[in-house]
């Protein structure tokens, strides 16, 4: 059984809190059930139809929700440093470029060396955040992905 420090006992002296805590500690199945119900409600709330892309059952593909303006400038950005080989990531980058073209997005592969004057970080891991912040001034939305991330299903 879980031990509660003596200082914290005053919080649990209240009848409702104390009963709920003792029930949860004595019956783990009830506690697990409460967690599952809370997770289900949270999922339902966060993923309601108006917050998601919706599925058009006649075409069996996901499309943009009508509430999303079609004139948004959206970019997909990958940042490479000087030592990275573009050939190493060519398959993933080609699939991302194809996806971006299909969705009418801009696909950018930024070279970290081109931003050394604006972004003082020496490590590309930190420099890429600065680079994306600079590029954000030209777009409404940016999706940053590592160069080794590819698109598996371009219909989504």
For the chain, 156 residues long, give each residue's pLDDT as a single digit of tens.
455 555 444 444 555 545 555 655 566 666 666 566 555 555 555 544 444 444 344 444 444 545 556 788 999 999 998 878 788 899 999 999 999 998 889 999 999 889 989 998 888 888 999 999 999 999 999 999 999 999 988 776
Cα dihedral 17, 23, 26, 27, rounded to 10, equals -140
Predicted local confidence at residue 67, as pLDDT: 56
The Cα 103–Cα 80 span in angstroms is: 23
* pLDDT in the model for residue 35: 64
Q: Are 72 and 141 in contact (CB under 8 A)?
A: yes
pLDDT at position 133: 94
Radius of gyration of the chain (CA): 24
Residue 60 Cα distances to 6, 63, 85, 148, angstroms: 59, 9, 38, 28
Return the domain boundaries, the chain.
Answer: 25-64, 74-144
- What are phi and psi for residue 56, nearest 5 degrees? -90, 105
Three-class secondary structure of residue 90 per DSSP: helix
């Amino acid at each position: 059984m879980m031990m509660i420090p003596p200082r914290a006992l005053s919080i649990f002296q209240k009848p409702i809190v104390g009963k709920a805590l003792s029930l949860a500690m004595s019956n783990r199945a009830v506690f697990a059930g409460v967690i599952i119900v809370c997770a289900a409600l949270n999922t339902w709330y966060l993923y309601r139809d108006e917050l998601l892309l919706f599925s058009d059952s006649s075409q069996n593909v996901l499309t943009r929700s009508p509430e999303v303006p079609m004139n948004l400038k959206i970019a997909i950005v990958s940042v490479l440093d000087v030592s990275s080989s573009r050939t190493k990531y060519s398959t993933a980058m080609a699939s991302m470029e194809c996806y971006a073209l299909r969705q009418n997005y801009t696909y950018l592969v930024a070279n970290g060396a081109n931003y050394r004057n604006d972004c003082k970080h020496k490590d590309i891991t930190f420099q890429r955040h600065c680079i994306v912040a600079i590029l954000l001034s030209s777009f409404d939305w940016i999706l940053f992905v590592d160069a080794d991330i590819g698109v598996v299903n371009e219909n989504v």
